[in-house]
Chains A and B, each alone.
Chain A
Amino acid sequence: MKSYSITNDINNKLVIFLKKRAVTVLLLAFIVFMVISKPSFYSWGNITNILTEMSVYGIVAFAMTVAIIGGEFDLSASSIFGWATVFFISITNTLGLIPAFFLTLISGILMGMVNGFLVSKVKLNAFVVTLATMTIIKGLTFFYTGGSPINTSNETLIAIGAFNVAGITLTPIIFVIALIVFILILAKTRFGRNIYATGGNYHVAKLTGINVDYYKFIIFVIVGFCSALAGILLCVRVQAGSALYGKDLALYAVTATVIGGTSLSGGNGGVAKTVIGLLVMSVLFNALTLLGVEGYFQQLIRGIVLIAVIIIDTVIKKKNK
């Protein structure tokens, strides 16, 4: 009788886990498939390759997760990212690396503040505002560079780009630090809880005394900051900047967030979930190359798999409700 109860308890826990973590289970199943079919998939070099590949955009995905939790959305992340790459490289070439680092971050924060002001104070729709600022910043970047990509031969930057510990470069290290910081902020601070409250129900949050406009404002500052930081990290990797870099970034960040399980309606989710979304996209990108799939089919398969993952997750969650 007791052993039946334990088995039943384990079964229940397993079912609850499967229901809550369907995407994770699917990802693990796919990883198992890849490990068996392509031994090169679990080589250390390839694992670090996947981590590095997801890290740059991943940092923006974390910020986008915070924005979505707070009930907002920022399309201008792509343009801020592209701006950051050209601004960072150009300042590196003139004033040096350290001023470039700080000035680029400040420029990202300022752009975020403009978005935040227009959404939280002027009460404009975030989608429209960030669509407009996306175009403005893109135009500014083209104007700043005359349309040309620029690069640098700054030796310190090249050395930072080449730095690695057991094959792990700086970018994944910053990614992990960002992950920990975001988890702590969202889960352990009043600031984090208030972002959930603001996104969950704006009016109720306002009635309970939360300064919702401040949180709406700060969300865009966070996205601006993280987009600029990610732009700098890309420069560390490729030592070049262009207005065209990161054109798919906003879409990528939103997709990773949604696949991870953060609801677009706001008020729930988390960056740890976004890591799963990022892994799904990066592992798929890497796996399709390893499996020898041609470019056109890669796009097709990636689209189908992403839809399938979201459908399965949604169906299971609905049944759970």
Chain B
Amino acid sequence: MKKKWLVIMVVALFIVSLFVGCTENETSSDSKEKTENVATEEKAEEKTDEKADEPLRIFMSNAYYTAPYCAPLNEGVNIEAERLGYEIQIVDGEGSADKQLAQFKAAVAEGYDALIYFPADEASTPPVVDYLVSTGLPWVVLNTTVDPAVEELVPSTIASDFRDIGSNIAQMAVDYLPDGGNVVYIEGAAGSSYTMQLTESIYSTFEENNITILNDHQYSDWDPGKSMVMMEDFITKYGAENIDLVVCQDGGMWQGALAALDAAGLKGKVLGVAAGNDLIIKESIIDGSLLGTSIQDPFVEGGLGVSTLDKLIKGEEAPKWAVVPGGLCLIDDIEKHKWF
């Protein structure tokens, strides 16, 4: 009896699989039945007509799909794609160029019309860029620039100027500490282009302005919890009286640092500067615990990615580097920006 049920279950599974498969592919199987007696040329024409009626499809592989920054970025991509009449699929590249390459190959096999590449890091981009070039499809790079060796091959890059963001943060610190001072600095993730380029700018500006970073490189991995522990350790190690300012690479890190400052009774006494458009940053600027932020609007960035790709799809000229609008935001500029 049990054997019978088992066989029935497996057979049923096959049938359901086949049925679902057939319904998914209803159009193609229907047309197959109908056109059995029709000439091959007519079949090809029908398929071309069907394709012409369908919206073009864009495929995007986002290396940091689940990062907080990417939630509004993905939303910006989706909304702009819908506005321009494209179908879009965004997948998680899981921080791996190897996986992203496999995803793009699958997307090309599936017949996507255009591609968006959000790389994990610069170093691993060459093989992916070479493949994207070989597809002959319109494509753009979003958020992170590629390795200089293949930069020329990229039709268009849509990204913030990370060094500019670093300069903005550093300049706010310099304005606050005109005679120099001591800061603690919490970074994002080791190896991330964003982290490295921000750090490069911040270090060089601080060196020129007699500002000392007390700690060595400390990576929070974008995690507010880790950032909070780091800040607690900094307070213990250096003493609150020796910390003039806290510098964070994004709102999540600032959230953690702020919690530690608050717990030590230092909120509003030791101030901070950060980058990003997080709501915690907005609130902190309003309550005076944060001097300001360097704007990096993920929603705008996502939208700009699709609109730039749209230009390439239509054969129009697109900028080699579409810089995502940024700049400083102090308390008077709060209402001018979107917060997430």
Q: Which of A278-298 contact B (CB under 8 A)?
A: 285-286, 288-290, 292-296, 298
Bound Cα distance A278, B121 (Å): 26
B3 touches A (CB below 8 Å): yes
| Contact among A36, A39, A50, A292 with B18 in the assembled complex (CB-CB below 8 Å) | A36
Q: Would you call B215 an interface residue if the criterion is a C-beta within 8 Å of the partner chain's C-beta atoms?
A: no
Question: Is B265 part of the contact surface with A, judged by Cβ < 8 Å?
Answer: no
Contact B191 A244, beta carbon cutoff 8 Å: yes
Q: Which B residues are in CB contact (< 8 Å) with A245? A: 96
User: Pick the contact of A15 from B3, B20, B74, B107 — CB < 8 Å?
Assistant: B3
Residues in A neighbouring B24, C-beta threshold 8 A: 36-38
**B-contact bits for A93-130, CB 8 A (1 contact / 0 none):** 00000000000000000000000000000000000000
Task: Identify the interface centre among B95, B97, B102, B109: most chain A CB within 10 Å of its CB.
Answer: B109
Q: Please state if A147 and B109 are interface contacts (CB–CB under 8 Å).
A: no
**Among the interface residues B102, B149, B219, which one has the most CB atoms of the partner chain A within 10 A?**
B102
Task: Please name the residue on chain A nearest to B9 by beta carbon.
Answer: A18
Chain B: CB-nearest residue to A236: B127
B153 within 8 A of partner (CB) = no
CB-CB < 8 A to B96: which residues of A? 245
Contact B17 A32 (CB under 8 A): yes
Q: Which residue of B lies closest to A31 (CB)?
A: B17
Task: Please give, as numbers and ranges, the residues of chain B lying within 8 Å of A292 by CB-CB distance.
Answer: 89
CA distance A295 to B95 in the complex (A): 13
Compute how far the CA of A118 lies from the CA of B76 in the bound complex, rounded to whole angstroms: 51
B223 CB-CB contact with A under 8 Å: no
Q: A161: CB under 8 A from chain B?
A: yes
A289 & B124 in contact (Cβ 8 Å cutoff): no
- Is B335 an interface residue, CB under 8 A from the partner? no
Contact across chains for B21 and A33 when beta carbons are under 8 A apart: yes
Across the interface, A53 reaches (CB within 8 A) one of B18, B25, B90, B102, namely B102
Contact present for A14 and B92 (CB under 8 Å): no
Which of B24, B98, B127, B147 gathers the greatest number of chain A CB atoms within 10 Å? B98
What residues of chain A lie closer than 8 Å to B189, measured between beta carbons?
A: 244
**In the complex, residue of chain B having the shortest beta-carbon distance to the beta carbon of A150:** B123
The reply to whether the CB of B229 lies closer than 8 angstroms to some CB of chain A is: no
The stretch of A41-49, A182-190, A264-272 that contacts the partner chain? A41-49
List the one stretch of A22-30, A66-74, A193-201, A214-222 in contact with chain B: A22-30
The residue that A289 contacts in the complex, of B14, B25, B91, B122, with Cβ under 8 A, is: B91
Given contacts A19-B6, A147-B217, A298-B91, contact A237 B101 (CB under 8 A): yes
On whether the beta carbons of B92 and A149 are closer than 8 Å, the reply is: no
**A149 contacts B90, CB within 8 Å?**
no
Instruction: Verify if B13 is at the interface (C-beta below 8 Å from A).
Output: yes
Query: In the complex, are the beta carbons of B22 and A238 less than 8 A apart?
Result: no
Closest Cβ–Cβ distance, residue B235 to chain A (whole Å): 24
User: With an 8 A cutoff between CB atoms, is B226 at the interface?
Assistant: no
Determine if B6 and A18 form an interchain contact, defined as CB atoms under 8 angstroms apart.
Answer: yes
Chain B neighbourhood of A25, CB < 8 A: 10, 13
Determine whether B209 belongs to the interface, using a CB cutoff of 8 Å to chain A.
no
Q: Among the listed B17, B22, B65, B74, which residue makes an inter-chain contact with A30, where contact means beta carbons less than 8 Å apart?
A: B17
Q: Is the CB of B124 within 8 A of A147?
A: no
Give min CB distance, A28 to chain B, whole Å. 9
Contact of B191 among A15, A147, A298 (CB under 8 A): A147
Q: For the complex, is B34 an interface residue (Cβ under 8 Å from A)?
A: no
| Dominant secondary structure of chain A at its interface with chain B | helix
- Are B109 and A43 in contact, CB atoms less than 8 angstroms apart? yes
Q: Are A299's CB and B92's CB within 8 A?
A: yes
Is A56 close to B, CB under 8 A? yes
Q: Is B323 an interface residue (CB 8 A)?
A: no
In the complex, A241→B98 CA distance in Å? 11
Q: Find out whether the CB atom of B97 lies under 8 angstroms from the CB atom of A238.
A: yes
Q: Are A286 and B102 in contact (CB under 8 A)?
A: yes
Decide: B21 and A289 in contact? CB cutoff 8 A.
Answer: no
In this assembly, does A11 line the interface, its C-beta being within 8 Å of a C-beta of chain B?
yes
Residues of A within 8 A of B127 (CB): 161, 237-239
With both chains docked as a complex, state the minimum distance between the C-beta of A52 and any C-beta of chain B, in angstroms: 7
A46 with B106: in contact, given A33-B21, A294-B89, A295-B62 (CB under 8 Å)? yes
Asked if A243 and B97 make an inter-chain contact with CB atoms under 8 angstroms apart, the answer reads no
Q: Which of A171-188 contact B (CB under 8 A)?
A: none
Of chain A, the residue at the smallest CB distance from B70 is A295
* A97–chain B nearest beta-carbon distance, Å: 17
A145 and B7 alpha carbons, distance in the complex (Å): 56
Q: Does A321 contact B (CB under 8 A)?
A: no
Check B102–A238 contact: CB distance below 8 A.
no
Asked whether B325 is an interface residue with its Cβ less than 8 Å from the other chain, the reply is no
| Chain B residues within 8 Å of A263, by CB | none
| Interface presence of B178 (CB below 8 A) | no
Residues of B within 8 A of A243 (CB): 190-191
Check A137 for interface membership: any CB of B closer than 8 A: no
- A to B CB contacts below 8 Å, 20 in the list: A12-B3, A25-B13, A30-B17, A33-B21, A37-B25, A46-B105, A53-B99, A149-B191, A151-B124, A242-B123, A242-B124, A244-B95, A244-B190, A244-B191, A286-B102, A288-B91, A294-B90, A296-B65, A298-B92, A316-B6
The residues of B with any CB-CB pair to A shorter than 8 Å are 2-3, 6-7, 10, 13-14, 17-18, 20-22, 24-25, 28, 62, 65-66, 74, 89-92, 94-99, 101-103, 105-111, 120-124, 126-128, 147, 149, 189-191, 196, 217, 219
The 9 closest A-B pairs by CB, nearest first: A147-B190, A36-B21, A149-B123, A240-B124, A33-B17, A37-B24, A295-B92, A151-B123, A240-B123
Residues of A bordering B, CB below 8 Å: 11-12, 14-15, 18-19, 25-26, 29-30, 32-41, 43, 45-46, 49-50, 52-53, 56, 142, 145, 147-151, 153, 161, 234, 237-245, 247-248, 285-286, 288-290, 292-296, 298-299, 316, 319
- Given A148-B196, A244-B121: 12 more A-B contacts, CB < 8 Å: A19-B6, A29-B10, A46-B106, A49-B106, A149-B123, A151-B149, A238-B126, A239-B126, A242-B123, A243-B190, A245-B96, A290-B110
